[in-house]
């Protein structure tokens, strides 16, 4: 029998969630106060979950490695958040959002989870507005929407290019309100290093106080990992510098299955790499594709300036290849198309690894509309462009400034140069419908889990998922487990050595603490010659080249061997200076890179196993004649959930994906 039980409720897709939600056992308010929940992570998923659970009466502790929960990586999300509000009256509905997400994910996501996501999406917008999140508005005072890739309706809500910031500050304010009322204890500048299990059940975590270096034991009846994605395994990505896989990886090594690690998202519109010194890549939001057109010169190795290339000598390759969706095809499709043009020799800029994202057309269009609004007759081209630039500035000002800061070029005057970069990870800890991992009492929310985006995530859906999980899913589904905990607690009430009495005095906590302390000392005692950073860079390069936008069997086999060798070298030659009992960012990073190396190997193994192309996973051996991804639904319509068995050893478990409501089909955006 499969070790995986997805616990998808019975019933029609439209009713599964509502029926299930009303049948979950409740925990009475008095009991809630004696139940402790540890929330690791304060991004959209963690902050929303922590606030909501505290409001409900649970005792909550929140952990984050930054100096404030408000700085979680979610803060950097730019473009927007989807919701099936249909405020634009353009034919949107719960079903359409559900359908778009399943199709966008290339038919590799779980129907029931995605439908639930689409259902609760509308409540998220209501909640955020009630918190005072200043989402963009129209002149009539109503909320404004924009379009994102992979859809033909306008369902994306936004706050200029700072949507993540505004949504996170909303969730953070709800979190801080509970901190202020004493319902949440905040442990900032803390890093979770392991989970603690007793008889296979999660009972708490080990965390390091990053300022003092003190190793701490924390007891919890349930632990929620809201620790984000693992894109930084590539070294260069659009993720924040601190984003890492450690929490999920340590949980994986304690029994949580890791699902679809090879599903990574390469975002088509990022600022290209400029040199070896580069520490991260910067996204130029997908919303720009609303108003920008992507092109390369028709002539190979064209060295003319973009503005000197006449219209008829430009190849708007997305519009050419995908007339129905044009510049708004999903990310995986757009990224591969850019790579194809650059590999074929049509790339632009110094490195030739870039394409143009051009705003001139829409600037002119906006300018004309403005001129009419302002009653300017026969405006000159210059007047039109000035008016248009003001509109563009209002929509994307912060992004344009960011671009100019980094490249020294003015995108109002010349097209942006962009190239795909690692952005998001669809893979993550395997969870059931309740968001519980394969370890009892351990949950994963937000980007840390695998559940909703299949093999490719649509733009503006991660913010939606993080907040759906935190505000509207976990507050219900956690009750399934915690109500059983209440029963157990009352049965063990008179037991002198019950876990509820011992809490962190249980010997399992001491063992776990010692393990992690030893690990830290191990890093410090290697006293090798190479910096942690240098290992991270080398790992990133292997994975980007061989498990990036295109993968093939030989490359993956080579990568696995190289990563194994890198791991050995790391453990014998890494140099970590300073001590364990102080603020030591280099030591923190050593632990994160050690985990990334192990994850990297699993990613390659997963990519090797998946003998098909789907979404962000493109195996060169499996493509159509036009170079599109070719799925194999007969053999690979499953979630690959990997069970850790020891160094370099994993066992594959499969969760079959059943499509009962959406007909599985070849994805077409033509």
Partner 1 sequence: MGSGHGQELNLTLKVWRQKNTKATGSFETHQLTGISVDMSFLEMFDVLNEKLISEGKEAIAFDHDCREGICGMCSMYINGRPHGPKQGVTTCQLHMRSFKTGDTIIVEPWRSGAFPVVKDLAVDRSAFDRIIASGGYISVNTGNAQDANNILIPKTDADEAFGAAACIGCGACVAACKNSSAMLFVSAKVSQLALLPQGQVERKERVLKMVAQMDEEGFGNCTNTGACEAECPKGISLENIARMNRELMGATFK
Q: Which of residues 111-130 bind partner 1 (CB under 8 A)?
A: 123, 125-130
* Complex with ligand FAD: residue 338 or 559, whichever CB lies closer: 338
Question: Which of 19, 33, 137, 501: binder of partner 1 (CB under 8 A)?
Answer: 137
Does residue number 169 form part of the binding site for partner 1 (CB under 8 A)?
yes
DSSP structure string for 394-446: HHHHHHHHHHHHHHS--TTTSPEEEEEEEEEE--EE---TTSB-SSBTEEE-G
Among ligand FAD, partner 1, none, what does residue 166 contact (CB within 5–8 Å per kind)?
Answer: partner 1
Close Cβ partners of 218 (under 8 Å, ≥ 6 residues apart): 38, 61, 187, 204, 205, 206, 207, 504
CA dist., res. 60 & res. 58, Å (int): 6
User: In whole angstroms, how close is the CB of 208 to ligand FAD at the nearest point?
Assistant: 9
Taking residues 205 to 244 in sequence order and writing x for each that binds partner 1 by CB under 8 A, - otherwise, the string is ------x----------------------------xxx--
For the chain, state the CA radius of gyration.
25
* Complex with ligand FAD: residue 70 or 96, whichever CB lies closer: 70
Binding region for partner 1 (CB under 8 A) out of 99-107, 328-336, 446-454, 576-584: 576-584
10 Å CB burial of residue 38 (0-12, 13-18, 19+) is: buried
Q: How many CB atoms lie within 10 A of CB 539?
A: 25
Does residue number 26 form part of the binding site for partner 1 (CB under 8 A)?
no
User: In whole angstroms, how close is the CB of 74 to partner 1 at the nearest point?
Assistant: 10
3-state secondary structure 295-338: EEECCCCCCCCHHHCCHHHEECHHHHHCCCCHHHCCHHHHHHHH
Taking residues 414 to 443 in sequence order and writing x for each that binds ligand FAD by CB under 6 A, - otherwise, the string is ---------xx-------------------
* Complex with ligand FAD: residue 237 or 434, whichever CB lies closer: 237
User: In whole angstroms, how close is the CB of 144 to partner 1 at the nearest point?
Assistant: 9
Binding region for partner 1 (CB under 8 A) out of 171-179, 323-331, 557-565, 640-648: 171-179
Range 347-386, binding ligand FAD (CB under 6 A): none
User: In whole angstroms, how close is the CB of 42 to ligand FAD at the nearest point?
Assistant: 4
Question: Which of 3, 15, 25, 67: binder of partner 1 (CB under 8 A)?
Answer: 67
Range 147-206, binding ligand FAD (CB under 6 A): 163-164, 190-192
Binding region for ligand FAD (CB under 6 A) out of 134-142, 368-376, 455-463, 657-665: 455-463
CA dist., res. 584 & res. 594, Å (int): 16
User: In whole angstroms, how close is the CB of 221 to partner 1 at the nearest point?
Assistant: 20
Q: What is the dihedral of CA 574, 575, 577, 583, to 10 degrees?
A: -40
Does residue number 78 form part of the binding site for ligand FAD (CB under 6 A)?
yes
Give 157's strand partners: 81
CA dist., res. 525 & res. 641, Å (int): 35
Does residue number 125 form part of the binding site for ligand FAD (CB under 6 A)?
no
DSSP structure string for 227-264: ----GGGGSSSSS-TT--SHHHHHHHHTT--EE-TT-E
Question: Which of 178, 227, 434, 516: binder of ligand FAD (CB under 6 A)?
Answer: 227
Cβ-contact 567, 598 below 8 angstroms: yes
Question: Which of 31, 34, 209, 274: binder of partner 1 (CB under 8 A)?
Answer: 274
Q: How many residues bind ligand FAD (CB under 6 A)?
A: 46
Binding region for partner 1 (CB under 8 A) out of 148-156, 160-168, 370-378, 622-630: 160-168
User: In whole angstroms, how close is the CB of 620 to partner 1 at the nearest point?
Assistant: 33
10 Å CB burial of residue 253 (0-12, 13-18, 19+) is: middle
For residue 157, the surrounding DSSP H or E stretch is strand 156-157
Question: Which of 34, 351, 517, 531: binder of partner 1 (CB under 8 A)?
Answer: 531
Reduced DSSP (H G I as helix, E B as strand, rest coil) percent helix, strand, coil of the chain, to 5: 45, 15, 40
Binding region for partner 1 (CB under 8 A) out of 108-116, 139-147, 444-452, 658-666: 139-147
Does residue number 29 form part of the binding site for partner 1 (CB under 8 A)?
no
The angle formed by the CA atoms of residues 35, 33 and 483, to the nearest 5 degrees, is 50
Range 524-543, binding ligand FAD (CB under 6 A): none
Does residue number 580 form part of the binding site for partner 1 (CB under 8 A)?
no
CA dist., res. 188 & res. 186, Å (int): 6
* Complex with partner 1: residue 31 or 123, whichever CB lies closer: 123
Cβ-contact 594, 579 below 8 angstroms: no
Range 264-293, binding ligand FAD (CB under 6 A): 283
CA dist., res. 545 & res. 538, Å (int): 11
Token pair for 498: 């019950």
Among partner 1, ligand FAD, none, what does residue 44 contact (CB within 5–8 Å per kind)?
Answer: ligand FAD
Binding region for ligand FAD (CB under 6 A) out of 60-68, 120-128, 303-311, 388-396: 60-68
Q: Which pairing describes strands 428-429 and 258-259: parallel, antiparallel, or unpaired?
A: antiparallel
Alpha helices in 153-244 (DSSP H): 163-180
The residue with tokens 């690959």 is 640
User: In whole angstroms, how close is the CB of 394 to partner 1 at the nearest point?
Assistant: 9
Does residue number 613 form part of the binding site for ligand FAD (CB under 6 A)?
no
Does residue number 42 form part of the binding site for ligand FAD (CB under 6 A)?
yes
Q: Which residues bind ligand FAD (CB under 6 A)?
A: 40-46, 63-66, 72-74, 76-81, 163-164, 190-192, 226-229, 238-239, 243-244, 246-247, 283, 423-424, 446-448, 460-463, 466
């Amino acid at each position: 029998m499969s070790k995986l039980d997805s616990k998808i409720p019975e019933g029609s897709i439209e009713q599964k969630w509502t029926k299930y939600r009303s049948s979950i056992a409740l925990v009475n308010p008095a009991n809630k106060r004696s139940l402790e929940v540890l929330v690791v992570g304060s991004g959209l998923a963690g902050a929303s979950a922590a606030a909501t659970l505290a409001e409900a009466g649970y005792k909550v502790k929140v952990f984050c490695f930054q100096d404030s929960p408000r700085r979680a990586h979610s803060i950097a999300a730019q473009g927007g958040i989807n919701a099936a509000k249909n405020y634009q009256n353009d034919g949107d509905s719960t079903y359409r959002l559900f359908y778009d997400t399943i199709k966008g994910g290339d038919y590799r996501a779980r129907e029931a989870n995605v439908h639930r996501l689409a259902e609760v999406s509308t409540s998220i917008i209501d909640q955020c507005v009630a918190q005072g999140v200043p989402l963009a508005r129209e002149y009539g005072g109503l909320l404004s929407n924009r379009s994102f890739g992979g859809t033909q309706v306008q369902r994306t809500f936004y706050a200029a290019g700072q949507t993540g910031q505004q949504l996170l500050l909303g969730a953070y304010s709800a979190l801080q309100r509970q901190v202020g009322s004493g319902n949440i204890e905040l442990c900032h500048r803390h890093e979770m290093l392991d989970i603690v299990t007793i008889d296979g059940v999660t009972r708490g975590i080990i965390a390091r106080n990053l300022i003092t270096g003190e190793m701490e034991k924390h007891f919890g009846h349930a632990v929620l990992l809201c620790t984000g994605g693992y894109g930084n395994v590539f070294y260069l990505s659009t993720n924040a510098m601190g984003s890492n896989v450690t929490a999920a990886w340590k949980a994986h090594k304690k029994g949580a299955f890791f699902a679809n690690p090879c599903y990574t998202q390469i975002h088509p519109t990022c600022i290209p790499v400029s040199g070896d010194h580069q520490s991260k890549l910067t996204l130029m939001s997908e919303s720009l594709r609303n108003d920008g057109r992507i092109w390369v010169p028709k002539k190979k190795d064209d060295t003319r300036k973009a503005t000197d290339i006449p219209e008829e000598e430009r190849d708007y390759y997305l519009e050419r290849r995908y007339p129905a969706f044009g510049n708004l095809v999903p990310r995986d499709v757009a990224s591969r198309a850019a790579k194809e043009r650059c590999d074929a020799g049509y790339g632009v800029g110094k490195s030739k690894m870039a394409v143009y994202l051009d705003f001139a057309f829409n600037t002119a269009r906006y300018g004309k509309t403005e001129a009419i609004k302002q009653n300017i007759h026969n405006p000159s081209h210059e007047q039109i462009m000035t008016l248009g630039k003001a509109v563009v500035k209002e929509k994307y000002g912060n992004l344009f400034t960011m671009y100019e800061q980094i490249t020294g070029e003015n995108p109002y005057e010349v097209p942006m140069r962009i190239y795909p970069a690692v952005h998001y990870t669809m893979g993550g800890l395997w969870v059931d419908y309740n968001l519980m991992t394969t370890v009892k009492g351990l949950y994963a929310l937000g980007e840390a889990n695998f559940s909703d985006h299949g093999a490719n995530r649509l733009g503006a859906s991660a913010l939606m998922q993080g907040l759906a999980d935190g505000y509207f899913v976990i507050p219900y589904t956690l009750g399934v487990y915690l109500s059983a905990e209440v029963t157990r607690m009352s049965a063990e009430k008179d037991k002198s050595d019950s876990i509820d009495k011992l809490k962190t005095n249980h010997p399992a906590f001491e063992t776990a603490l010692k393990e992690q302390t030893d690990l830290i000392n191990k890093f410090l005692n290697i006293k090798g010659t190479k910096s942690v950073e240098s290992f991270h860079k080398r790992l990133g390069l292997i994975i980007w080249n061989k498990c990036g936008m295109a993968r093939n069997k030989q490359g993956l086999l080579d990568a696995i061997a190289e990563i194994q060798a890198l791991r050995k070298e790391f453990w014998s030659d890494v140099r970590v200076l300073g001590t364990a009992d102080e603020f030591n960012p280099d030591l923190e990073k050593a632990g994160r890179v050690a985990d990334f190396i192990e994850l990297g190997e699993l990613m390659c193994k997963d990519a090797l196993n998946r003998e098909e192309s789907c979404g962000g996973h493109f195996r060169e051996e499996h493509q159509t004649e036009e170079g599109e991804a070719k799925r194999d639904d007969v053999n690979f319509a499953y979630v690959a959930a990997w069970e850790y068995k020891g160094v370099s050893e994993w066992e594959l478990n499969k969760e079959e994906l059943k499509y009962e409501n959406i007909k599985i089909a070849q994805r077409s955006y033509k």
